Structure 1
């Protein structure tokens, strides 16, 4: 309860600072909002890229958080609140991903939509988060097609004149998502049952593992503390040994040292770095969501099937 009060107090101070920022530049903000395209703000870069594909040329889409940001424990800045106050629509993932977002959005008048609405959640099975939905639903190309439908509806309400374009953009993008899904399933189809395991640092791949018929295993369930206990590491080592798992993985936003211990103890390959919570810069390996999910799918299939040897 004390943490909630502190967060509210912090957000109140942020909101006051944001008001000062917006007041200083009120003339410019009003001019840009009336003369420009409707402004759509997302909570993180992955959602921004998906939304941009649906919006096409008709909406201006921007992410609150920047490339490489840790989304779970993000702390909004006065500039974030100021930016949100100018938005025509805010999109968030939901499923308890953005712990900071619910009270943050109360400081603004902008409407918001939860893009994971309609996704069948997979619950986290252990630790302090047991029973809560795994928030990483976008790590499934199947789920992201639901995200796209929700964005099409929200954008069509925001800008009815371009509803047909949003619908067309969404359908084209969903076709690309389905191709990634079909390729992933097809390439893993020859993998022996015992080796059909996806072992990662964080439990961020429950939805992808479900869609690809893989047994998911991770060192920690949610990337909040970013610390692995000896028990978590030893349990992962035992699982990898027992199942002859050929390769293990870790995510770009955390240290891979705990998983390197698993590699040293089991002889499994380190299969590569996977991307989850953030895109890369434009010249990086995953500047778009499609490139992110393709990268992860290719990295997983090559390592598990021996294609990288």
Structure 2
């Protein structure tokens, strides 16, 4: 992976170069962030990250959301300062960056982003940042296309919800850090290897948890279609209210479609996600008699004292909630 700046080739590109590339290749995936949920809630991932002294000599890495920040911190160890642009609990698809976000990005040494159309605000954001390299973390991941709606046939961007895909994220982070800071390459290589071992262990745990669900109950019903990769890996059938977070949420048609699917498949338990309203899903539960199993974490971690302060916690928590919900529902039928 070659760290590159304007006028040079390579996998990492400066904000200016990347903006030009995106304009030519993925304009259809970029939408206006106006009126997006959570857009006004702009802050750092943690207070500690925002107050890290600039004089400590460490390079500064920004990520577009908290899940990536946690992955990156595990690879960085104590050699880099890692910070998320969006704060805990923010809706990341249509986030509205503030001037302070742009200032932080301009002072950064590297920006890590998901891509696949996840951060619809990112092209415009990078257009305001000059000569800061960035790394696409979903490079080499085989995307699952969105099946319907305005983003039909575009990649489903929630690739990190598969532990096996997360290994690719970690490798891309490792490569980016080695090129950014070659003096600490041994640390990044060792940290990435250790973190990958943890992800492989989590993968086995999730398999054991979810394989307990009977075949006829293996329907994962969520608000956003954010679980396509997890459903693929663990042989679940995915049903969702909408394919990707946007301004069109909980329309009468969406609600009615899910009601019909839940009824026809005798789905015992349904779920939503923490960064969107769950009112529509609770309406589905009330109408169909299915249990509302709670909100799952996808686009954001929790606070330190919450249930998923790390990405590994997120994977374990979601698998446990899904398995327990579907098993409890199955046992009552």
TM surpasses 0.5 = yes
**Structure 1 or 2: larger helix share?**
1
Cα separation, 1, equivalents of 2:153 and 2:32: 24
The residue correspondences of 1:21-32 to structure 2 (distance < 5 A) are: none
CA pair 43-143 structure 1, distance change in 2 beyond 3 A: same
Question: 1:91-145 CA deviation, whole Å, 9 max, x = no partner?
Answer: 0000011111122113221000001111110111111111111111111111111
Cα separation, 1, equivalents of 2:180 and 2:136: 15
Q: Is the 8 A contact 2:137 2:172 kept in 1?
A: yes
TM (normalized to structure 2)?
0.81
Determine if the alignment matches structure 1 residue 156 to structure 2 residue 178: yes
TM (normalized to structure 1)?
0.87
Determine if the alignment matches structure 1 residue 103 to structure 2 residue 117: no
Cα separation, 2, equivalents of 1:189 and 1:68: 30
Determine if the alignment matches structure 1 residue 232 to structure 2 residue 254: yes
Secondary structure of the residue aligned to 1:129 is: coil
Match of 1:200 in 2: 222
CA pair 106-234 structure 1, distance change in 2 beyond 3 A: same
Cα separation, 2, equivalents of 1:88 and 1:50: 17
Quote the offset at 1:254 in angstroms.
1.2
Match of 2:210 in 1: 188
Quote the offset at 1:306 in angstroms.
2.2
Partner residue of 2:304 out of 282, 285, 296? 282
Secondary structure of the residue aligned to 1:306 is: helix
Question: 1:140-196 CA deviation, whole Å, 9 max, x = no partner?
Answer: 111111000000000011111211211111111112112222122222224332211
Match of 1:47 in 2: 68
Question: 1:236-263 CA deviation, whole Å, 9 max, x = no partner?
Answer: 1121122221211000111111111111
Q: Is the 8 A contact 1:124 1:132 kept in 2?
A: yes
Secondary structure of the residue aligned to 1:112 is: strand
Partner residue of 1:221 out of 243, 246, 249? 243
Structure 2 runs not aligned, ≥5 long: 1-22, 24-28, 34-52
CA pair 230-7 structure 1, distance change in 2 beyond 3 A: closer
The residue correspondences of 1:13-162 to structure 2 (distance < 5 A) are: 35-108=56-129, 109-162=131-184
Hey, which bits of structure 1, 4+ residues long, moved more than 4 A?
32-35
Quote the offset at 1:209 in angstroms.
0.7
Determine if the alignment matches structure 1 residue 293 to structure 2 residue 315: yes
Match of 1:257 in 2: 279
Q: Is the 8 A contact 1:184 1:301 kept in 2?
A: no
Cα separation, 1, equivalents of 2:230 and 2:285: 23
Cα separation, 2, equivalents of 1:226 and 1:280: 25
Cα separation, 1, equivalents of 2:176 and 2:201: 25
Quote the offset at 1:71 in angstroms.
0.6
